[in-house]
Chain A
């Protein structure tokens, strides 16, 4: 297996006041390039914490995290920020779009950190919006879009810089079933037709069915992996 994500002996502890809570207990896992993995588990099982570690938003207390062959647990804050810009596309449950920017400007945001010209940034953003089927909504602001459309814009924003890995935290958690299925189909298409590696946190079994692998977490431990039928 050509692993794009490798975690070895990862633990994560949080200190709240005088109390230290260990959220993840020695996680070992590998995710292959081009895979679509659903991280599942009950609330408090450590799914989002694990996703944050894979996406370089947080660093493990012990153990190592490597993505595309690069150890990210040893990177400084500024290097990790640059690394995220280059390698990771994030999709959040509540879309987290900038309310004052149009869809196109939202999608352009990650490209502001590149050396692309304004014309090239616009062109790439329009292309990303076309991929998610929203080419005609580029001038609309988030409050003029439906939930599903807003999430599509968020996916376009995650895609626009052509990241190594797409990291999705409950991407359908705020959507009705039909819209959720549309978004999941879109993710599946991105995985199958564009070869994007996707790691998605969900506690919705129906959403997890769209992934090629399901990894189950419980109380900070990886308790099993299921391959889609």
Chain B
């Protein structure tokens, strides 16, 4: 710590240059934070996928409906613990940009199959009592400020009502739900399938996909095979996948987000490496006599090396911290749009690690050259 004032003063020796370098690194880390945040949000479904669960959809396409009658046959299959279902409602609130992952289902089956979903028992009962009831995820509730007793109008981009041919549906908020370990899963809503199925104009008695939990995760593949075999050669053939495979397949519809993000950040950090490295080299070159004076005063080669390296580390960590802090402040503004809550801690930790690597790569070469300075030659220069 006693060297910190020297280190700090040295860092700000050329204020303008330091500010520009700091800003370059800061913006790179801001970009890193935002892009990795988006990437993590997109992949959170994959990362949080449960190994005990299968997603069963139509063999033809995810958009093809399956008959509700399949449920009894699946219930009876050995190895199957619970079966539930959902329908893609494609709900929008007030404006098209306000997408809500709202699904009609059987609440008892849904909670048994996905135990991560947590709802207060009295609110479950309230949903069962209220045909037009809806449970709102905590993130969505916070986003739109909904409370119990509110009547929420949702527009479906798919489903029209039999009664009036309109696509606007009204629901009564009866409770809220959480999702253990992944708050981003609560940017949605759950409502009664019975209400939805009776009211919709077409495809009655069908569902969008099945969610099946298995008794033994080691038997997942066998159960998936058994389900598909059960409906083989029927008019409603199925495709059963683990929740993870399903999430990955869903992600691929958007393109390889991970590759795009990695490519952009790779180019940014590669450029930054040269920029910062050059700045550090130049800074040390300008201070050759000062380094020689430090050595003359009794600073060892190792101490000079440590000082120069620490300067690079301080610069990179300070800029990275500012960039990531800024990203953390800005990210919530876009988080809702991509179904995320906040910048994952893992992104911040990875950012810190990258800052250290950047400091090593840019600080070590000039630090080594400073430590190897010959005092007599350096003083003469």
Residues of A bordering B, CB below 8 Å? 52, 55, 57-58, 77-78, 81-86, 88, 90, 92, 96, 98-101, 105, 109-110, 112-113, 118, 121, 157
Of the candidates B10, B13, B290, B298, the one whose C-beta lies within 8 Å of that of A113 is: B298
What CA separation (Å) do A109 and B289 show in the bound complex? 15
Residues of B bordering A, CB below 8 Å? 2-3, 5-6, 9-10, 12-13, 289-290, 293-303, 375-376, 379
Of the candidates B6, B13, B290, B294, the one whose C-beta lies within 8 Å of that of A105 is: B6
Q: How many A-B residue pairs have CB under 8 A?
A: 67
* Cβ–Cβ contact B6 & A113, under 8 A: no
* Cβ–Cβ contact B13 & A96, under 8 A: no
- Chain A interface mostly: helix
What CA separation (Å) do A91 and B293 show in the bound complex? 10
Task: Name the residue among A81, A90, A113 with the largest chain B CB count within 10 angstroms.
Answer: A81
Could you say which residues of chain A place their CB within 8 Å of the CB of B10? 98, 100
What CA separation (Å) do A78 and B2 show in the bound complex? 20
* Cβ–Cβ contact B297 & A92, under 8 A: no
Could you say which residues of chain A place their CB within 8 Å of the CB of B6? 98, 101, 105, 109, 112
Could you say which residues of chain B place their CB within 8 Å of the CB of A157? 297
Could you say which residues of chain A place their CB within 8 Å of the CB of B379? 57, 92, 96
* Cβ–Cβ contact B5 & A78, under 8 A: no
* Cβ–Cβ contact A85 & B298, under 8 A: yes
Task: Name the residue among A55, A85, A98 with the largest chain B CB count within 10 angstroms.
Answer: A98
* Cβ–Cβ contact B289 & A100, under 8 A: no
* Cβ–Cβ contact B298 & A100, under 8 A: no
* Cβ–Cβ contact A100 & B376, under 8 A: no
What CA separation (Å) do A99 and B15 show in the bound complex? 13
Task: Name the residue among A55, A88, A92, A112 with the largest chain B CB count within 10 angstroms.
Answer: A112
Could you say which residues of chain A place their CB within 8 Å of the CB of B294? 109
- Chain B interface mostly: helix
Task: Name the residue among B9, B289, B301 with the largest chain A CB count within 10 angstroms.
Answer: B9
CB distance from B61 to the nearest CB of A (A): 67
In the complex, which residue of chain B has the Cβ closest to the Cβ of A141? B9
In the complex, which residue of chain A has the Cβ closest to the Cβ of B297? A110
In the complex, which residue of chain A has the Cβ closest to the Cβ of B301? A77
Query: Knowing A98-B293, A101-B6 touch, does A57 contact B12 (C-beta < 8 A)?
Result: no
In the complex, which residue of chain A has the Cβ closest to the Cβ of B290? A98
CB distance from B147 to the nearest CB of A (A): 57
* Cβ–Cβ contact B298 & A86, under 8 A: yes
Of the candidates A52, A58, A84, A101, the one whose C-beta lies within 8 Å of that of B298 is: A84
Of the candidates B12, B297, B301, B376, the one whose C-beta lies within 8 Å of that of A109 is: B297
Question: What are 11 A-to-B residue pairs whose CB atoms are below 8 Å?
Answer: A78-B301, A78-B302, A82-B298, A82-B300, A85-B299, A88-B298, A96-B290, A96-B293, A99-B13, A100-B12, A113-B303
* Cβ–Cβ contact B298 & A110, under 8 A: yes
* Cβ–Cβ contact B293 & A105, under 8 A: no
What CA separation (Å) do A100 and B293 show in the bound complex? 14
* Cβ–Cβ contact B297 & A84, under 8 A: yes
Could you say which residues of chain A place their CB within 8 Å of the CB of B299? 81, 85, 113
What CA separation (Å) do A82 and B299 show in the bound complex? 7
CB distance from B165 to the nearest CB of A (A): 76
Query: Knowing A105-B5, A110-B298, A112-B6 touch, does A58 contact B13 (C-beta < 8 A)?
Result: no
In the A-B complex, list the 6 residue pairs whose CB atoms are closest, starting with the nearest: A85-B298, A81-B300, A100-B9, A84-B298, A96-B293, A100-B13
Could you say which residues of chain B place their CB within 8 Å of the CB of A86? 298
* Cβ–Cβ contact B296 & A98, under 8 A: no
* Cβ–Cβ contact A52 & B376, under 8 A: yes
Could you say which residues of chain B place their CB within 8 Å of the CB of A112? 2-3, 6
* Cβ–Cβ contact A118 & B9, under 8 A: no
Of the candidates A52, A81, A88, A92, the one whose C-beta lies within 8 Å of that of B301 is: A81
What CA separation (Å) do A105 and B4 show in the bound complex? 12
Query: Knowing A57-B376, A112-B2, A112-B3 touch, does A98 contact B300 (C-beta < 8 A)?
Result: no
